[in-house]
Structure 1
Amino acid sequence: MKSKQITAALIMVFGGLYFHSAFAISESYRAQLENSGCTQVSETNGTCNPHHSKQQNAAQANRHHQADPDAAADVARTIDRHIAGKYQGEAVDYMEAQGWQSQNEERTHWRKSGFTAKFDMNQSNGKVMGVIVQ
């Protein structure tokens, strides 16, 4: 019985150390990510360079979107699947949850990652018919 308790205690101690170190990043790396506007994910998938400034990474994202006209169409299709036919409030909730920033008081114009999106509204019933992305 005592050996089982000791084994369980050792597993908890060493297991805790393993998980703690697996998720830890250094303060200097954290600061580098913060200064560049990157996350660990965006740095890993190559969409952000932690050695550049936030402005340089934003400019690179804008060049990428301008060079790939199909990207705006892909973004529009993705948003349309989630908001077309919904009331404006539901569409606003979706856009905010996806990290889009409202650009006007009516909350019909949005901006994210170099893209701009505009709701195509049905004024008679307040529903979003779709979205135009540039």
Structure 2
Amino acid sequence: MNTNRDQFPLPEDLKVFLTVVRKNGFASAAEELGYSPAYISKRISVLETTLATRLLHRTTRRIALTDDGERVRVWAEKLLGDLDDFLGEIAEARHQPSGSLHICSSFGFGRNHVAPAICKLSQTYPKLEMRLDVFDRVVDIVSEGF
């Protein structure tokens, strides 16, 4: 397989390829994906051009993977699975705050009001790292690094 290293296959083309392989044909893959068989054929041709190799042996009645097609199938399943996991993590991160929260407070207020609120917050957002510093003096948050 002699690929053009400046051009990566599109995830959608890999998905089309895997569907063709799983459904064992262009027509059934087209039906599942909601495209025409001609579109499916075009996407497979684009993928083969991008990868500079033939992926499928085609006849009018059946398809079979080439050796390179089998390698691409294995990698495409892994890549698309990893991409799906990545997109899931990104979506979760948007809805699940994470990072660091550093709070500086006077001793009495911190102990009586801030600490209980931090406990509730940490139960609600376990990926949020929280730190509470309490002092009996006025704190210069800029010069003391808060």
Q: Same fold (TM over 0.5)?
A: no
Higher relative contact order (CA 8 A, sep 6+): 2
Larger radius of gyration: 2
Q: TM-score, normalised by structure 2?
A: 0.26
Q: TM-score, normalised by structure 1?
A: 0.27
